[in-house]
Amino acid sequence: MPLKPDDRLLNRFRITSVLGQGAFGCTYLAFDQRLRRPVAIKELLSQHLADQTARERFVNEARVMGQLAHPNIVTVYDLIEPDPTQRLDAYYIIMEYLDGGSLEHAIREGMTIERAITVAVAVCAALARAHQNGIIHRDIKPANVLLSKDGNLIKLGDFGIAHLPDVHQTVGGHPGTLVYMSPEQTRSGAQVRLDGRSDLYSTGAMLYEMLTGRLYLDFSSYVRKASLAFYRAKGLPPGVDLSPFLKLELEMAIQQAVSCAVREVPPEDPRQHNPDVPAPLAELVLKALSKDPAGRFADAEEMIAALKGVKARKLAQTTTPGRLSPGQHVDDLIARSQAAAQRGELSAALELLAKARELAPDNPRVHRELGLLQVKRGDYRTAAEHWKEVIALDRSYARAYLELARCYNQLELYARAIEVQEEALRAGLAQSDPTFYDCLSMAYWMANRPEEAIWALEKAIQLEESPKRHALLRQWRRRSGGTSRARSKEDAR
């Protein structure tokens, strides 16, 4: 079971709060009562305990980080494995806690060029240590770089998918985070062995973002184009609900489009987005982002020397254009969540929306996005709570009533679905939406109210002819032995 605040692990670590959750693990802030210090505890999620690959990845992360003792790599204190004698049925990594959050947050706040170089040097120093030991990280991104609040500590973490020297491992299946991958890392199925230059490409992508406040390519545009092309090829209107099989097809099409951009589209000069970036630093970033590994730095030490050479020059003290107003920050988190969801990264999308909710708990748009995302995840009960919140915040938003009713139908709470939609009818909402009446008709039918079900389906047909609706109407009439009674919208009152 997941740990909760005030829980004790091994009667030593008192859980304080949840720091975050990813696809495989949940990380907690805890207090080590023996050594009197805060620690971070990462737990392998229970749904992955039966997955041997997930277990090996989790244990691999602890062992790799434990072996690579370095000032710029997060320190691992212990690995706890299931032990019936201790009543432990999960895996935990006990780690150093850094109180300044991740680089991802720092980028959103904005940073000086000098600070960006300092962070890049620290990451390269950590990579130099890993590469010397034959370890390729493969998931360099801002979320995996942790900082102390005073700015003195910069540490690389999450070696969960690192390539070990004693394991025969080739590229395939997109390990890592696509928008930070090197071109060679995106070649799914290709028999290409990665070397340290792949991590340096990802570091260049991260440095570009630190300097400009944006990704080195406009990935959202490739996601949009791939989505539109997919719907067009299938003869479907954009945004229409897809079957699970078509959703998988769409996700694959988006991955292919983004991968192709990584391999083929050159980045713009970072000075186009931040004119304060000095020319030597812009050249350094573009060299790190060379599509051909031979065009990049030969190793992390060479990149460190180049970065220090730039840092020795006089640099502008302006903050990079990453600082956003609260409203812009929420909009940015929602946009990034939508892009992550379109790539099929639902856990990442949920993390981003959780941050948006922390910033704007009463923003109906945030709850709308959470409702839509939870439906994609199949969690209709949680989705319903978000749609109820949307209605409470904006009673005129017609779609919220429809989406809430759909959730209730999925949960087989048909009386509640009817109640919600009849409330919308009384308010004069959704009168011209055939899908609203489709949903209402199904709720009536499943609630054993056939006359009203037929009436609602007839209303949907009046608004939009459909062979499927006519076929269903004939079926319902045969089964109910009659037609609908006359009904106006006042009947819903």
Phi, psi of 44 (to 5 degrees): -70, 125
H helix or E strand, kind and range, residue 20 = strand 13-21
Is the domain of 44 the same as that of 175? no
Whole-angstrom Cα distance, residue 436 to residue 421? 8
Phi, psi of 412 (to 5 degrees): 65, 30
Contact 80/89 with Cβ under 8 angstroms?
no
Strands (E), 45-91: 76-80
Q: How far is CA 48 from CA 40, 51, 85, 211, 314, in A?
A: 20, 5, 22, 37, 50
CATH number at residue 182: 1.10.510.10
Whole-angstrom Cα distance, residue 211 to residue 409? 48
Whole-angstrom Cα distance, residue 103 to residue 146? 6
H runs (alpha helix) in 133-243: 196-212, 219-234
CATH number at residue 53: 3.30.200.20
This prediction has a pTM of 0.67
The residues that are catalytic are 139
Residue 469 lies in a domain: no
Longest dimension (CA), the chain: 87
End-to-end C-alpha distance for the chain, whole angstroms: 46
Whole-angstrom Cα distance, residue 244 to residue 248? 6
Residue 199 lies in a domain: yes
Residue 418 lies in a domain: no
Is the domain of 303 the same as that of 181? yes
* Token pair belonging to 493: 């009152």
Is the domain of 73 the same as that of 160? no
Task: Label residues 203-218 b or e (16+ Cβ within 10 Å = b).
Answer: bbbbbbbbbbbbbbbe
Contact 23/347 with Cβ under 8 angstroms?
yes
Residue 468 lies in a domain: no
* Token pair belonging to 239: 């945004």
Is the domain of 191 the same as that of 78? no
Beta strand pairing call for 145-147 and 8-9: unpaired
Contact 444/418 with Cβ under 8 angstroms?
yes
- Residue owning tokens 């620690």: 39
Q: What range does the domain containing 53 cover?
A: 8-96
- Let me know how long the chain is: 493
H helix or E strand, kind and range, residue 44 = strand 37-44
Residue 70 lies in a domain: yes
Whole-angstrom Cα distance, residue 117 to residue 74? 20
Is the domain of 170 the same as that of 71? no
**Number of structural domains the chain divides into:** 2
Please count the other Cβ atoms lying within 10 Å of the Cβ belonging to residue 438. Answer: 23
Is the domain of 151 the same as that of 84? no
Is the domain of 107 the same as that of 192? yes
Is the domain of 34 the same as that of 110? no
Q: What is the DSSP letter of 207?
A: H
Phi, psi of 319 (to 5 degrees): -85, 140
Residue 19 lies in a domain: yes
Residue 95: exposure state from Cβ atoms within 10 A (0-12, 13-18, ≥19): buried
Q: Which of 96, 130, 147 is the last residue of a domain?
A: 96
Residue 219: exposure state from Cβ atoms within 10 A (0-12, 13-18, ≥19): buried
pLDDT at position 336, please? 86
Is the domain of 86 the same as that of 113? no
Q: What residues in the chain have per-residue pLDDT under 70?
A: 1, 163-175, 188-191, 318-325, 482-493
Residue 388 lies in a domain: no
Nearest of 118, 35, 81, 83 to residue 304 by alpha carbon: 118
Residue 428 makes CB contacts below 8 A (sequence gap 6+) with none
Residue 200 lies in a domain: yes
Whole-angstrom Cα distance, residue 228 to residue 236? 10
- Residue owning tokens 């930070």: 180
Is the domain of 112 the same as that of 199? yes
Nearest of 193, 134, 190, 196 to residue 169 by alpha carbon: 193
Residue 194, by phi and psi: left (phi above 0), alpha (psi -120 to 50) or beta? beta
Is the domain of 274 the same as that of 137? yes
Is the domain of 161 the same as that of 188? yes
Q: Which of 54, 79, 96 is the last residue of a domain?
A: 96
Q: Which of 49, 65, 96 is the last residue of a domain?
A: 96
